[in-house]
Amino acid sequence: MPVGSNRKKLVKRTLRKIRRRWWQIIHRSLWPSRSATNSWEVLPYLDAYSADSDRKVEKGSDIKEKRVNKVQLPYLVSNGLAPEHRLLDIGCGTLRAGRHFIRYLNAGGYTGLELSPKVLDYAVLSVQQAGLSEKRPRLVLNAQKNLRFEQFAGETFDYLLAQSVFTHLPPEHIEECLAHVPSIMHEGSVFFFTFHQGRAYQYDGKKSFMYPASFFTELANRYNQVLRVRDDYPHPKGQKMAMLKLAQPVAQSRTNSVPSAPTPRPHGWSLATPPPISKATLPGPDGTLAPAYGVLGTSSCLQRKTDVLGAKRDAEQIGSACADAS
């Protein structure tokens, strides 16, 4: 690409960032109670995230289809998804990708789970507008907000997908998901999820998270699963795709998947008791416990914000790579 066009792009991007920052400052001073940043500071993480998704859909963003929404169906089909399969789309959003799955799968085959009520309302509407009602997609509001999948007790899915979800979730929610997902998988189920791969854990202070692959591998080992990070996922912004299966026959795996007695956690947090603020709880690029930035293991954004140094540095490091994870 010619140097001139690169420079133009850089100038444009910088101007956009300055404009956005100015707007944030003005917005915050004029309407402090409406400020998005406020909710990240005061609400538990998933409440703030849900409110943020609500706001986005009200503003009309996260509605328009992007390239990433078109690659998901072909990718899963090339990995064996067939019309008769049952798919759980964790964090289905406004169904920008979900619509393609609904069209492809047999009636009743698609289930979407979503945190934000307004996003889900929009999703329901979009099914009608796309003329897909006869496919009877099941769209479930995750009112409990956790990822223990109690809404689906007694059911299993052939395929599970979480596209651009772990990119926005702190470690304790991801661990919760991997600890409980075996309860809705059978021996042949496959769980695909994407993440932002980083050399070490990074958090931007709002809703962008980067993880080294070793973070997921260790969790998978802990919960008796087999995980492979794939190199063939054509995500336009470089998110990595991981593929997870149960390691054991399901009966054994279910009893083993959530240890009843407290056991040492890979990175020093537990689901019941969030760990303290730490700069050394996640593995570095080589899997060792190298210093990692950010604040882990708490749902309090207030606490996370207290790590000003870490969050600011992370924001700089993550930068535009995570500006729009989806």
Contacting residues toward ligand SAM, per CB under 6 A: 49, 53, 69, 91-93, 96-97, 113-116, 119, 142, 145, 147, 163-165, 168-169, 325-326
Q: How far is the CB of 122 from ligand SAM (least distance, A)?
A: 10
Please report, in angstroms and rounded to a whole number, the separation of the first and last CA atoms in the chain: 25
Which residue's CB comes closest to ligand SAM? 91
Give the span between the Cα atoms of 39 and 30, in whole angstroms. 16
The residue (of 117 and 284) whose beta carbon lies closer to ligand SAM is 117
Give the span between the Cα atoms of 8 and 18, in whole angstroms. 15
Q: How far is the CB of 196 from ligand SAM (least distance, A)?
A: 12
The residue (of 88 and 283) whose beta carbon lies closer to ligand SAM is 88
Minimal CA–CA distance to 123: which of 140, 106, 109? 140
Minimal CA–CA distance to 66: which of 190, 234, 211, 206? 234
Q: How far is the CB of 3 from ligand SAM (least distance, A)?
A: 34
The residue (of 149 and 293) whose beta carbon lies closer to ligand SAM is 149
Q: How far is the CB of 65 from ligand SAM (least distance, A)?
A: 9
The residue (of 39 and 142) whose beta carbon lies closer to ligand SAM is 142
Give the span between the Cα atoms of 98 and 69, in whole angstroms. 8
How many CA atoms are closer than 13 Å to the CA of 251, on its beta-carbon side? 0
The residue (of 93 and 294) whose beta carbon lies closer to ligand SAM is 93
At residue 76's C-alpha, the angle toward residues 239 and 209, to 5°, is 25
Q: How far is the CB of 178 from ligand SAM (least distance, A)?
A: 13
